Structure 1
Amino acid sequence: MSETTKSTVQALYFPCTVFKTQKRMDDYGADDMRCGDLSATQLKTDFNLHNISSKVNPYTLTLFQQLKSMPYGYSYDKNPESKKITRQECVRILFNEFRHESRSFAFYGPYKHLIEKMIDYMQNGNGTPFRDLSLDAALKEKILSSLSSNDSSSLVSSHL
């Protein structure tokens, strides 16, 4: 580097902001916090969300034919008929399926009950933030453990 192109290091004055996200936390006006902002076509083409449920087609509000219990196993009806359902029934089925599928990701530990509470809140909440003391405790534990490790936030903090 030549003398004319050398950059000068400026002193930091505390407190100082090292990083700032583009979107504020709990910004419910943000474009990615809206419900129903994407069309069915966008969901299918942009995100490849075609077969999202094993029980219902939310795009056509059609209930899939389910296996019927028989004395020697399961079988499909020989003359299947698509059953139309209401939007509310479709939502109920999708959330129940969401709860069921989430169990394989949260089957043990002190926070295993949280996923179903969060899904219930998503389904029945009115858009207010989800709050739970055990979630707060989990976040606190994560922050404290990351401060003692070599993650980026602790490295930045140690150099300030």
Structure 2
Amino acid sequence: MSVLTFPFIVYQTQHRFNDYSTDDMKYGDLTEKQLRSDLGLDDVSDVVDPWTGKKVSIFNLFRNTRPQSRTKMAELLFNELLRVSMPAYYFGQHQIFKNLVKHLYHGNGKSYSSPFLDRAYKDLIISGKTSPLSPLTVIKSSLDKILFTGKKTLSDPDIDLITQDIRSSTLPKFNRWADIFNGLGMSIHDIRTTKIQIYQLDITDNGYAAKIKFTGQDHFGLDKTDIMNPKFNFIRAFRIWFVLQRWETFSFKPFLTNMKAEF
């Protein structure tokens, strides 16, 4: 039996961390023709027409308007993206969605993390703790089962057993009804990659104490499948976001959102 070295991983999703090869992490890769003809993105904004650079107004029918610069168009589109992202923007928890959109504008692809996002992630995991399919509940049940026999350490087969049990659990995702309104559903929704580690395990004659760490990562970016889904294509916020990210004229870089929680 190998000697355990803390921390050790008891579960990790098949998706890799820091994966920039996915379609939702691409940027500036599509032409106007591809966006309009192939993806049906003629109608993008109620404020400015990105294809002509002109502001959108009924009064423009009666007078010529000067096309906006790329910088000004981007500013107008980002402001509109926030405005039409109801209720994520107006009622969002700790303005997480607003901060992520601002990071898309200014962050140049740099990864994002924040104590507010970590807190939301921890609350999400805790909120599911009463379920028998919660990873925390599953880990505790597995450890209870293994250590009830009087073992003073974990063997490799024990770790494999915990891993198998976690595979049958429900991993944390921001897909609750409340996440529609608190901004987390639009900001994160599915958590693409999850890693669970046991950081510390103290076993005594009276029981044990374990320190568990969850690490999650998602992509703040849109792929073609997203925008071709009628549900998302119908929502103006997603059309604006997709054009800002994927059109070669704008090319704003998507980024990784990182979150962690310890128990």
Shared fold, TM over 0.5: yes
Q: RMSD of aligned C-alpha atoms?
A: 3.2
Amino acid at match of 1:35: Y
* Maintained 8 Å contact 1:62/1:83: yes
* Maintained 8 Å contact 1:62/1:84: yes
The runs of 5 or more residues in structure 1 that have no matched partner are 1-14, 67-75
Matched, 1:20 2:7: no
Matched, 1:136 2:118: yes
* Alpha-carbon distance in structure 1 between the residues aligned to 2:104 and 2:23: 18
Distance 1:125 1:148, change over 3 A: same
* Alpha-carbon distance in structure 2 between the residues aligned to 1:117 and 1:129: 13
In the alignment, what sits opposite 1:4?
Answer: none
Amino acid at match of 1:55: V
- State TM-score, norm by structure 2: 0.43
1:65-124 per-residue CA deviation (whole Å, 9 max, x = no partner) reads 36xxxxxxxxx3672213211111110110011121124334336x15111111111111
1:113 aligned to which of 70, 95, 111: 95
Matched, 1:62 2:54: yes
In the alignment, what sits opposite 2:183?
Answer: none
Distance 1:80 1:32, change over 3 A: same
**Aligned runs of 1:141-156 on 2, under 5 Å?**
141-149=123-131
In the alignment, what sits opposite 2:223?
Answer: none
Matched, 1:45 2:45: no
* Maintained 8 Å contact 1:64/1:83: no
* Maintained 8 Å contact 1:106/1:112: no
* Alpha-carbon distance in structure 1 between the residues aligned to 2:133 and 2:42: 38
* Maintained 8 Å contact 1:65/1:80: no
* Maintained 8 Å contact 1:65/1:82: no
Distance 1:78 1:98, change over 3 A: closer
The runs of 5 or more residues in structure 2 that have no matched partner are 1-8, 139-164, 170-263
Q: Please say which structure displays the higher CA radius of gyration.
A: 1
State the aligned residue count: 135
Amino acid at match of 2:44: I
- Give the secondary structure class of the aligned counterpart of 1:141: helix
* Alpha-carbon distance in structure 2 between the residues aligned to 1:116 and 1:106: 6
Amino acid at match of 1:144: I
* Maintained 8 Å contact 1:56/1:64: yes
In the alignment, what sits opposite 1:157?
Answer: 166
| Alpha-carbon offset, residue 144 of structure 1 | 2.8
Distance 1:44 1:137, change over 3 A: same
In the alignment, what sits opposite 1:85?
Answer: 68
* Alpha-carbon distance in structure 2 between the residues aligned to 1:152 and 1:46: 42
| Alpha-carbon offset, residue 130 of structure 1 | 1.4
In the alignment, what sits opposite 2:109?
Answer: 127
Distance 1:17 1:120, change over 3 A: closer
